[in-house]
Amino acid sequence: MEQKILELRQRARDAIKNVTADLKELDNIRVKILGKKGELTSLLRGMSQLSAEDRPKIGKIVNEARAELEALIASKNDELKAKELSNKLASEKIDVTLPGRQVVTGNLHPLTLTLNRIKEIFLDMGYTIEEGPEVETDYYNFEALNLPKDHPARDMQDSFYITEDILVRTQTSPVQARTMESHESNSPIRMIAPGRVYRRDDYDASHSPMFTQVEGLVIDKGIRFSDLKGTLEHLLKEIFGKNAKARLRPSFFPFTEPSTEVDVSCMMCHCHDENCKVCHGSGWLEILGAGMVHPDVLKMSGYDPKIVSGFAFGLGVERIAMLTYGVDDLRLFYDNDVRFLQQFK
């Protein structure tokens, strides 16, 4: 009997020592040995068969074994609990020195920013904003603008035709005719029409088959070329600042007479750098075409050139954006590379 108890005691010690992680495992051992039906408990029950003189001796041994094992279990229990807590603390640790997660916000495209600025300037002068379709009829894109079929000036704008009579507009000028038609004859108009236009062009640093224009049209009694000039000067000063220079060159458009093209001084190279991708060393960049509305254009849209006159202009938004932001390749506007776009926050 004594032998059995000592064996059990040793076995239990080893088992308790070997428990490494699990509190449940430790409890199983406790139940198996010290529980009501545990091994040590049933040994105790067997004591009734012992002789009277053996009983106190064995009883002492059993009690010692029980006391030791209980103490071992208690200290193992504390050890495991402490380990569990420190594991938990380690896995839930918050590193307050880590940099915060960046919230990515979008921003407006540089062409949108430029368009918004242009719109703002004209809205301040009392202009309305008109729209026209990008898929346009030959009539509005050309004929209503004094460009009958087979007119040689049609070659100035190589077009993408969809059918014989329908094309993607080569300019925003068709909105001039559409706006006049929607107005009562000879009533005043002061409008701009921003939008995309399409031409069969190369795709390089300064050309693109799709680009953006803002059309302008002012009609009223007594509108003169000096009104056009003053309006454009105001626009260019607002956009490029007081130091920007502008020059007007005589030009030709079938829908205006007289016509002009307007250049602004190149803000990329300043001193006529031959390698300047924007002005190629000329020091000037053409940004718009303009002129006094041709009498035939007024007539075709129901206005009477004997009563009213007007001016019109069409400006290139990409070119203005290139100069304002110092971008020397137009393709950057369409590549949608976030590294480029993010710079306009």
Instruction: Rule CB under 6 A: say whether 310 interacts with ligand PHE.
Output: no
Instruction: Rule CB under 6 A: say whether 206 interacts with ligand PHE.
Output: no
Tell me whether residue 62 or residue 159 sits nearer to ligand PHE (CB atom): 159
Tell me whether residue 72 or residue 223 sits nearer to ligand PHE (CB atom): 223
Instruction: Rule CB under 6 A: say whether 144 interacts with ligand PHE.
Output: no
Tell me whether residue 186 or residue 256 sits nearer to ligand PHE (CB atom): 256
CA distance 120 to 192: 11
CA distance 131 to 182: 12
Instruction: Rule CB under 6 A: say whether 212 interacts with ligand PHE.
Output: no
Instruction: Rule CB under 6 A: say whether 327 interacts with ligand PHE.
Output: no
Instruction: Confirm if 297 and 255 have CB atoms less than 8 A apart.
Output: yes
Q: By CB under 6 A, which span of 21-29, 92-100, 276-284, 286-294 interacts with ligand PHE?
A: 286-294
Contacts with ligand PHE in 160-179 (CB under 6 A)? 171, 173
Nearest to 5 by CA among 54, 64, 92, 77: 64
Tell me whether residue 121 or residue 312 sits nearer to ligand PHE (CB atom): 312
Instruction: Rule CB under 6 A: say whether 195 interacts with ligand PHE.
Output: no
Contacts with ligand PHE in 48-107 (CB under 6 A)? none
Q: By CB under 6 A, which span of 201-209, 232-240, 270-278, 283-291 interacts with ligand PHE?
A: 283-291
Instruction: Rule CB under 6 A: say whether 313 interacts with ligand PHE.
Output: yes
- Out of 110, 174, 289, 310, the only residue in the binding site for ligand PHE (CB under 6 A) is 289
Q: By CB under 6 A, which span of 70-78, 93-101, 130-138, 285-293 interacts with ligand PHE?
A: 285-293
CA angle 60, 61, 62 (to 5 degrees): 90
Tell me whether residue 140 or residue 253 sits nearer to ligand PHE (CB atom): 253
**Contacting residues for 291 by C-beta, under 8 A, at least 6 apart:** 228, 251, 253, 255, 256, 257, 258, 259, 260, 311, 312, 313
DSSP 152-216: GGGGGS---BSSSSEEE-SSSTHHHHHHHHHSPTT--EEEEEEEEEE-----BTTB-SEEEEEEE
196: its two tokens: 């995309």
- Out of 208, 256, 265, 309, the only residue in the binding site for ligand PHE (CB under 6 A) is 256
Nearest to 308 by CA among 145, 175, 171, 183: 183
Instruction: Rule CB under 6 A: say whether 290 interacts with ligand PHE.
Output: yes
CA distance 212 to 196: 4
Instruction: Confirm if 186 and 303 have CB atoms less than 8 A apart.
Output: yes
Q: How many chain residues interact with ligand PHE (CB under 6 A)? A: 10
Instruction: Rule CB under 6 A: say whether 278 interacts with ligand PHE.
Output: no
212: its two tokens: 């953006």
**Contacting residues for 333 by C-beta, under 8 A, at least 6 apart:** 109, 110, 111, 318, 321, 327
Nearest to 12 by CA among 24, 21, 4: 4
Q: Minimal distance in Å, beta carbon 292 to ligand PHE?
A: 9
Q: By CB under 6 A, which span of 66-74, 78-86, 103-111, 312-320 interacts with ligand PHE?
A: 312-320
Tell me whether residue 198 or residue 333 sits nearer to ligand PHE (CB atom): 198
Q: Minimal distance in Å, beta carbon 289 to ligand PHE?
A: 3
Binding site residues, ligand PHE, CB under 6 A: 171, 173, 253, 256, 289-291, 312-314
